[in-house]
Structure 1
Amino acid sequence: MTQQEIIASLPSHLRTFVKVQDYNLYTPRDHAVWRFLLLSLAEHLTQHAHPVYLEGLRKTGISLDHIPSIDDMNQCLEKIGWQAVVVDGFIPPAIFMEFQARKILVIALDMRAVDHMLYTPAPDIVHESAGHAPFIVDVDYAEFLQRFGEIGMKALSTASDYAVYEAIRHLSIVKESTRSTEQDIADAEAALTAALESNAGEAPSEASLLSRLHWWTVEYGLVGELDNYKIYGAGLLSSLGEGVNCLDDSKVRKLPLTVDAINTPYDITREQPQLFVTKSCKHLTQVLEAFADGMAFRQGGAVSLRKAIACKTVSTAVYSSGLQVSGKWVRGLTDAMDNLIYIGTEGPTQLAWGNRELHGHGTDYHAAGFGSPVGNIKDLPRCLSDYTMDELKSAGICVGEPVVLDFVSGVHVEGVLDHVERRNHKNILMSFSNCRVTGPMKINGDLGDVLFDPSWGQYDMAVGDGIASVYGGTADKDRYRLYQQPPASETLRPTYSEQERALFSLYQSLREGRSEGAVDDAWLQNFHAQLAAYPSEWLLRFECLELAQSTAFKAQLVDELESLALQSDEHRKLIQTGFERIAL
């Protein structure tokens, strides 16, 4: 499938985040940066990465010589049941996870700048394609990655989680852009610090804890034994710096991976002081499932609803009947045994079944919120959802007539039953007019609190004897979108001077000469003379060194590169890495 065909096949709430790769926007220098990094990484990873890595590069359509085309990648990925789309940098974590659950790799569109080759603060196509894609050829790892997406998209998150995401995204854009000033960077760093401080003031959400597990496995994981391990984490695979430094056991502690890794926070701005080693890809899934067992979407009940209330964000509660209620939860009344007896939202709320919004029950209709009892009716041996319409009639519950429902909990519902909504042979929603709902009678004999008054209009009562699941986000994501627009900040695309464009022509000339086998020392000498206009240009000089035959010319290029290595620590590391690769 082409990019456009894949985009057309996506639900509309995901299409918002997908871009189209314009391959012509990558400059010849971008391709040279890719080539240098991938050749250097492949040299290192042949020894230190999980053996499937290099095989995976080939099978996922990733060349060491040039930036991959997403269309070419998709031709290869289709053979193993996956797809890829390109996006603009960081996207909301829940959206990222949903793509992953759909077996779609999310790949950042941009290529890191030549000045950020060792480390880029923003997601880029090196990290996303060469880091993440190769390992999905391993069936166990691919299943783990998809399962992580399925679980991750259900995690409960807080408003401050999203604020941290936006701050990280903005800082990554500002730091990667050549147009940013020192003040721009300082302001973005201050905004992130403020967001992190706010987030640190609350208990970590499920999404926050799961992001730690993602970091210590998918991004920075090792596989094998504590004293004999290989790299599989994408962050390590795509970093010339940390991918090497992490192997020093005296500086980076190695710990066995357990679910307790969620107790270890991470700092994206620094190299990690410890890493976790998994026994195998199957072990990864076991750890993930151990975490999921404690999540609200599996536990349900009062404990899970309280988590949702504490998060103060939109989430979905699922009744035992299958009815899904999506909104910001503010009420969860319980009995003495902590069983939920009445739950409620405030603000826009959606009712759905099977992830499809019920007709007439969207956020426009339930704009002020929704509330409903949970539990069984007195003297009815089964859950109200399990009765046929004839059985309801026999119990005195008839459409068009006054109905009184006394719940075991003491909640009382009295009104005219107008309609019963059924799905999959179950009653999921009952709608009443002229309805009054009250809570259990008080211990001092006072009547229960009024939970719904007839003057408030139509009353829609969810049906179910319990809350089976609570999860982050909405049920019908296309009809109730939490992310109406793409992130507030857009990546700042570089602009190039005439001198830089002339330099790109030199990169293209050398690239074409190398691929055509037309380069000899005479050609290189003439080419090298043109580099006098670019005294700080190290990468082209290194590419000349790769092709040079003359000992004297090689020595000249080495001298020039060693001088350029003094410009910065990054130059030194990159040039030294290049020397080691070509055995100088």
Structure 2
Amino acid sequence: MISQQDVIAQLPAHLQPFIAIQDYSAYSPRDHAVWRFLLHQLRYSLRDSAHPTYFEGLAKTGIGLEAIPRIEEINLCLNKLGWQAVAVDGFLPPAVFMEFQARKVLAIALNIRSFEHMLYTPAPDIIHESAGHAPFLVDIDYAEFLQRFGELGMRAIANDHDMAIYEAVRQLSIVKEDGNSSQADIATAEAEVERLQNMKVAPSEANLLARLHWWTVEYGLVGERDDYTIYGAGLLSSLSESQSCLDDHEVDKRALTLHALNTAYDITAPQPQLFVTQSCRHLSQVLEEYGRHMCCFRGGASALEEAMSAGTVVTIHYNSGLQIAGKISRVITDPVGNAIYINTDGPTQLAYENTELPGHGIEYHAQGFGSPIGRLRAMERCLSDYTVDELKRHHIEIDTKVTLHFLSGITVQGTLTSIIRRRQRNILFSFTECTVTDVDGNVLFDPSWGTFDMAIGDAVVSVAGGSADQTAYPMYKAPSYNVTAAQNVSDEARAQYEFYTRLRTLREAQNDDPQLIDQILNDDTLDWLIKFEAYELSQSHALKQQLERIASNSTDDIRVLIQGGLQRLAATAN
């Protein structure tokens, strides 16, 4: 069996801080009872509405119904499908989540929803991740679609507003699952999410892709608008919404097209509309249609300007292979719209093939970076394509005064001190005593500023979100200490765990204990779930009547859970 440590060791260093170790002993007897109740209930309620692959996948991905699965068990099954699993703590930064997915790693939140939020929780939990996402990995077409989504998602450009919303939603999920949170705490967290969602901010690439992910991977339907089944993990892991979504009068069903990008979503509330795809092939077509318009594919001035507006760190990829990672602060274009000079502001990294160039990290380029883009006069090819001997014939050699005249009118004049080459291509020139001017004589770089490192390349072929080498230039802080897995349990609730344990022992041994059943029947302080498990085991008419009374006098959520459970037991008994 592959251990979590083995999986972690195979992943890049910048992803490892986001991985948690599943402490299986930390799950309480009530946690296992919550899992068991919900998994049995979901299997029953989804029997006619879930896509058939769901039930096949539950069996093939190590998702048992009786107890919370161990990550190692899931891993053993996923490995047969070419995937792996890691435990994480709740919400991840979107780009991190997508990179796991791109690497065919299923990130599974280690916590389980609280007893108080069994119907729905805004926080990712092990029910949502394992019983929602994992089953469909048995479908090769869907697994390839999910991996491709990760590849695009990890390269999408986010803006500062995206990160603010991520932090706010994460905080909301924490306070909602914390038993010590007051209603004022919850209201404050909800208000912050609502405030950010209501801000008039143009959606970023990452935000648009997140919408597509939500309306497909999380809340997708497959089939036709009037004849569909569920495949979205968010629906498959929600007892309430997996049922309410089937009401075509209350929830509008729309054919999946790129118009889904125009539809925002609220993670804290039921969705008023859902999108129906015809097949995995259709999913992939819609994804690729959006993907080919992303900055990481189109490059050029428009991509640079979009990234500059986002105000976040991006990686600029020259056609020579050189990568520049930083926040773009200026893009100079020529009269026909070609980018001819760029500047970054603040820490900047130079890299090649996603590995930082020695000496060109964010400490060295702490104040930013600037460089021209384009070809030189009287040179027929990109400067990157010339050999060292060919450069000499153009009077370009180390330790000499060099003047470079670009077609754009930019001029670079200084002493060439070094040339960095990779794979027989020039990617970076460094100059001392260097002056850089534009066509009007404006100074773009002054000798007093130090060494001028000039990126080589006549085109920007890609602009992607994040840094090139995230180990050397990390994008995200270590995960918060406010872990969503940490639930505060009252002493009163903890005292009831013995009953869950005794009932599980009886069930597994297929024994009965009338004395224990009577004790549970006559103790009004016990959880309704204990009484339900006792009734399931004993079929006591008195316990059934008691559960019906509890349901009629409880909140809507508890009433739905109890009535649904009794209905399932009655149906499966016949």
Q: Normalised by the shorter chain, which TM-score bucket?
A: over 0.9
Structure 2 CA distance, aligned partners of 1:241 and 1:97?
Answer: 27
Shift of 1:270: 1.6
What do residues 93-122 of structure 1 show as CA deviations (whole Å, max 9, x unaligned)? 010001000000111111111111111121
Q: Which runs of 4+ in 1 moved over 6 A?
A: none
Name the SS of the counterpart of 1:47 in structure 2. coil
Structure 2 CA distance, aligned partners of 1:48 and 1:346?
Answer: 52
Partner of 1:235: 234
| 1:562 aligned residue (532, 548, 554) | 548
1:95 aligns with 2:82: no
What do residues 156-179 of structure 1 show as CA deviations (whole Å, max 9, x unaligned)? 111111011000000110011101
Partner of 1:204: 203
Shift of 1:196: 2.5
| 1:460 aligned residue (441, 453, 465) | 453
Partner of 1:349: 348
Matches within 5 A, 1:175-574: 175-197=176-198, 200-441=199-440, 448-487=441-480, 489-491=482-484, 493-519=486-512, 523-535=513-525, 537-549=527-539, 553-554=540-541, 556-565=542-551, 566-574=553-561
Partner of 1:174: 175
Structure 2 CA distance, aligned partners of 1:111 and 1:478?
Answer: 31
Shift of 1:193: 2.8
Q: Aligned in 2, Cα 1:492/1:30: closer, same or farther, shift over 3 Å?
A: closer
Shift of 1:289: 0.5
Shift of 1:259: 1.3
State the one-letter code of the partner of 1:558: K
State the one-letter code of the partner of 2:437: T
Shift of 1:433: 0.8
Partner of 1:582: 569
Name the SS of the counterpart of 2:85 in structure 1. strand
State the one-letter code of the partner of 1:156: I
Aligned partners of 2:90 and 2:485 also within 8 Å: no
Aligned partners of 2:496 and 2:526 also within 8 Å: no
Aligned partners of 2:315 and 2:326 also within 8 Å: yes
State the one-letter code of the partner of 1:560: Q
Matches within 5 A, 1:39-58: 39-58=40-59
Identity of matched residues, %: 55
Shift of 1:440: 1.2
Shift of 1:536: 5.2
Name the SS of the counterpart of 2:38 in structure 1. helix
What do residues 530-565 of structure 1 show as CA deviations (whole Å, max 9, x unaligned)? 45334352111111222225xxx32x1121111111
What do residues 310-348 of structure 1 show as CA deviations (whole Å, max 9, x unaligned)? 001111110110100000001100001100110010100
Name the SS of the counterpart of 1:276 in structure 2. strand
State the one-letter code of the partner of 2:328: W
What do residues 56-81 of structure 1 show as CA deviations (whole Å, max 9, x unaligned)? 01111010111110011101111111
Shift of 1:484: 3.0
Structure 1 CA distance, aligned partners of 2:516 and 2:426?
Answer: 82
Name the SS of the counterpart of 2:14 in structure 1. helix
Structure 2 CA distance, aligned partners of 1:40 and 1:178?
Answer: 24
Aligned partners of 1:121 and 1:176 also within 8 Å: no
Structure 2 CA distance, aligned partners of 1:449 and 1:426?
Answer: 30
Name the SS of the counterpart of 1:106 in structure 2. strand
State the one-letter code of the partner of 1:152: G
What do residues 345-375 of structure 1 show as CA deviations (whole Å, max 9, x unaligned)? 0100000000000000000100000000000
Shift of 1:457: 0.7
Shift of 1:496: 3.6
State the one-letter code of the partner of 2:242: G
Structure 1 CA distance, aligned partners of 2:93 and 2:496?
Answer: 37
Structure 2 CA distance, aligned partners of 1:352 and 1:189?
Answer: 41
Structure 1 CA distance, aligned partners of 2:99 and 2:443?
Answer: 40
Shift of 1:525: 4.4
- Gap regions ≥5 residues in structure 2: none
Partner of 2:83: 82
Aligned partners of 1:324 and 1:353 also within 8 Å: yes
Partner of 1:444: none
Q: Aligned in 2, Cα 1:495/1:267: closer, same or farther, shift over 3 Å?
A: closer
State the one-letter code of the partner of 1:82: W
TM-score by length of 1: 0.96
Name the SS of the counterpart of 1:46 in structure 2. coil
Name the SS of the counterpart of 1:277 in structure 2. strand
Structure 2 CA distance, aligned partners of 1:492 and 1:218?
Answer: 24
Q: Aligned in 2, Cα 1:10/1:528: closer, same or farther, shift over 3 Å?
A: farther
Structure 1 CA distance, aligned partners of 2:485 and 2:242?
Answer: 28
Structure 2 CA distance, aligned partners of 1:119 and 1:361?
Answer: 48
Shift of 1:498: 4.2
Shift of 1:497: 4.2
Name the SS of the counterpart of 1:582 in structure 2. helix
Structure 1 CA distance, aligned partners of 2:15 and 2:413?
Answer: 43
Shift of 1:293: 1.0
- Gap regions ≥5 residues in structure 1: 442-447
Aligned partners of 2:320 and 2:384 also within 8 Å: yes
State the one-letter code of the partner of 2:533: E
Shift of 1:490: 2.8
Structure 1 CA distance, aligned partners of 2:534 and 2:485?
Answer: 31
Structure 2 CA distance, aligned partners of 1:113 and 1:82?
Answer: 29
Partner of 1:445: none
Aligned partners of 2:178 and 2:488 also within 8 Å: no
Name the SS of the counterpart of 2:360 in structure 1. coil
Aligned partners of 1:91 and 1:487 also within 8 Å: no
Aligned partners of 1:97 and 1:152 also within 8 Å: yes
Shift of 1:123: 1.0
Structure 2 CA distance, aligned partners of 1:28 and 1:223?
Answer: 36
What do residues 493-535 of structure 1 show as CA deviations (whole Å, max 9, x unaligned)? 234444433311110101011111112xxx1343331453343
Aligned partners of 2:376 and 2:383 also within 8 Å: yes
Partner of 1:134: 135
Aligned partners of 1:317 and 1:467 also within 8 Å: yes
State the one-letter code of the partner of 1:515: E
Aligned partners of 1:524 and 1:544 also within 8 Å: no
What do residues 395-441 of structure 1 show as CA deviations (whole Å, max 9, x unaligned)? 11111111100000000000111111111111110011111000112
Structure 2 CA distance, aligned partners of 1:230 and 1:114?
Answer: 28
Structure 1 CA distance, aligned partners of 2:485 and 2:6?
Answer: 27
Name the SS of the counterpart of 2:48 in structure 1. helix
Structure 2 CA distance, aligned partners of 1:531 and 1:457?
Answer: 82
State the one-letter code of the partner of 2:534: C
What do residues 216-272 of structure 1 show as CA deviations (whole Å, max 9, x unaligned)? 000000011111111000000001100011111111111111111100111112211
Larger mean CA deviation between 523-532 and 121-130 belongs to: 523-532
Name the SS of the counterpart of 1:421 in structure 2. strand
Structure 1 CA distance, aligned partners of 2:170 and 2:465?
Answer: 21
Name the SS of the counterpart of 1:303 in structure 2. helix
